[in-house]
Structure 1
Amino acid sequence: MVNLLKKKQQRTGSVLTTFAIATFSLHLLVLILFISQGLQIRQLSLRKPPTFVQMIDGKPIAATDDLARDPEAIRQFISKTMTSMFNWSGTLPPKNFEEVTKPLPDPGILVKTSQGGSQKVTTSSWVASFALSEDFRKGFLSVIAQITPPEIFATNPNQAMSAQLIIKRVYPPKQIAPGKWRVGMVADIIQKKRSDNRTKITTFNKDLLVQAVDSFAYPLDENSTNLQKAIYSNRADKLEIYEIRNLCLLDEYSNLTEEQLKQCTNRNKSDNFLR
């Protein structure tokens, strides 16, 4: 009888031990699953949103490669940025219908120059400069300030001037590295005095080096100003200009060798971004 009770107690203890081990194993498995799911959710939260590279006809297409950009989108980015940079009307872009008929004068924005002083650039130039890389933007704005006539901001009609960039050609982008392109542009900057329509034409033939950049969060509508929205629109293409050189026109642009480009660069070397 005693032996039977001992055997029964051993069987009960064995069942409880097995149940405890199984329960512990199940809890451990659930914990591992929770940790795995948590890591996957964290990776998803850190993943960049897809890059939309096609901005033609309002139909963006997600790229499989973060560094891929459509050639026509690059050309349009160059044209839009340079036009905004050098179209100086002396007035601010209209925000409503009333400002279309009565545009507000552009007060300009002061930037530091290489000589140590400060000069004005137009508001449109300052906004367009956010399409440049940060290390290039400051120096380029300094040059723009030095070549911007003070008459652009004059309220006296007899002194006022305007300027416009006339683009003749934008060459197809040539890839020079993953996510980087060289784009040639042939254009003229035409400055006109409003009182007598006298014009001054400055050749603007440049090689623009462009690179793909990461996306960033869109500013909240309720917290963003018109100026912030304008700046964001210049970054929406996920491209930026990181250098501007003199354009070499020794031969057909797309067929230039590296040696020809080197000769042209040495011949056109200048301390300024513009020549």
Structure 2
Amino acid sequence: TYYVSERDQRFRYPSVIQNFIKTWAELTFNWDSKLPGTNETDSGIKVNSKRVPTSTYFASLLMEPEFGKASLDKIAELVPSTVFSGQVRSTIIISFLSEPREIRPGEWEVDMIATRLIVDRSLGKDERIPFNRTFRIKAVEIQTSPLGDQASAFEQKVYEIRSAGLEINKITEFNPQ
């Protein structure tokens, strides 16, 4: 049974907002030498003189456009080139996601406590980096591809990841005070 009710166009269920943040974090920080969900080698996307994994590029599309572009530059600095050869792998372990706090209609904050785990297979060591952040998210228009099933795989992926109708417009250090 489905329950249908009329809602403001900026309304988003808390679980949708939390899943959106979780998706962004996983796309941004889960790195290996394969394209997600395939056995194909990921050569990455060039960002200035560096590269980021393809999934990280897609994660930047979940952000306000200029913020996403600027974030790619910063994230590219964190990605070792050995990710693309499979020597280094990375994942994010999310320990806590807060309930969204509505700042104003159509805008929320969510706190995340997580750890980035980076494993260097050739050295047999790992590094654990705390990643505790507060995200500011806003509702945006939910768009669908004008080409539908006829769209390229790239275009379909872009519209798929933006289907929550949300956009990150600010990320700050999490302060529990």
- Cα deviation for residue 62 of structure 1 reads 6.3
Query: Which one of the candidate residues 30, 33, 36 is aligned to 1:87?
Result: 30
Q: Which residue of 2 aligns with 1:127?
A: 58
- Cα deviation for residue 218 of structure 1 reads 2.2
Query: Which one of the candidate residues 125, 140, 165 is aligned to 1:198?
Result: 125
> Structure 1 residues 222, 73: closer, same or farther in 2, change over 3 A?
closer
Q: Does structure 1 conserve the Cα–Cα contact (< 8 Å) formed by 2:145 and 2:156? A: no
Query: Which one of the candidate residues 24, 36, 40 is aligned to 1:104?
Result: 40
Distance in 1 (alpha carbons) for counterparts of 2:53 and 2:4: 34
Distance in 1 (alpha carbons) for counterparts of 2:107 and 2:118: 32
Bigger share in strand: 2
Write the letter of the residue equivalent to 2:44: G
- Cα deviation for residue 63 of structure 1 reads 4.7
Q: TM-score, normalised by structure 1?
A: 0.60
C-alpha offsets along residues 60-105 of structure 1, whole Å, 9 cap, x if unaligned?
A: 96652011111111111111111111100111124xxxx5xxx121
Distance in 2 (alpha carbons) for counterparts of 1:161 and 1:131: 25
Query: Which one of the candidate residues 21, 33, 41 is aligned to 1:78?
Result: 21
Mapping for residues 250-261 of structure 1, pairs under 5 Å: 250=177
Q: TM-score, normalised by structure 2?
A: 0.92
Bigger share in helix: 1
Q: Does structure 1 conserve the Cα–Cα contact (< 8 Å) formed by 2:101 and 2:110? A: yes
Q: Percent identity?
A: 30
RMSD, aligned CA:
1.8
| DSSP 3-state at the match of 1:131 | coil
* Higher gyration radius (CA): 1
Distance in 2 (alpha carbons) for counterparts of 1:69 and 1:205: 23
Structure 1: state its 5+ residue gaps.
Answer: 1-58, 113-117, 251-275
Distance in 2 (alpha carbons) for counterparts of 1:200 and 1:67: 40
| DSSP 3-state at the match of 2:150 | coil
Q: Does structure 2 conserve the Cα–Cα contact (< 8 Å) formed by 1:86 and 1:164? A: yes
Q: In the comparison of the two structures, how many residue pairs are matched? A: 176
Write the letter of the residue equivalent to 2:106: G
| DSSP 3-state at the match of 2:67 | helix
Runs of 4+ in 1 over 6 A off after TM superposition: none
Q: Which residue of 1 aligns with 2:93?
A: 166
Matched, 1:150 2:81: yes
Distance in 2 (alpha carbons) for counterparts of 1:63 and 1:213: 18
| DSSP 3-state at the match of 1:106 | coil
Q: Which residue of 2 aligns with 1:228?
A: 155
Higher relative contact order (CA 8 A, sep 6+): 2
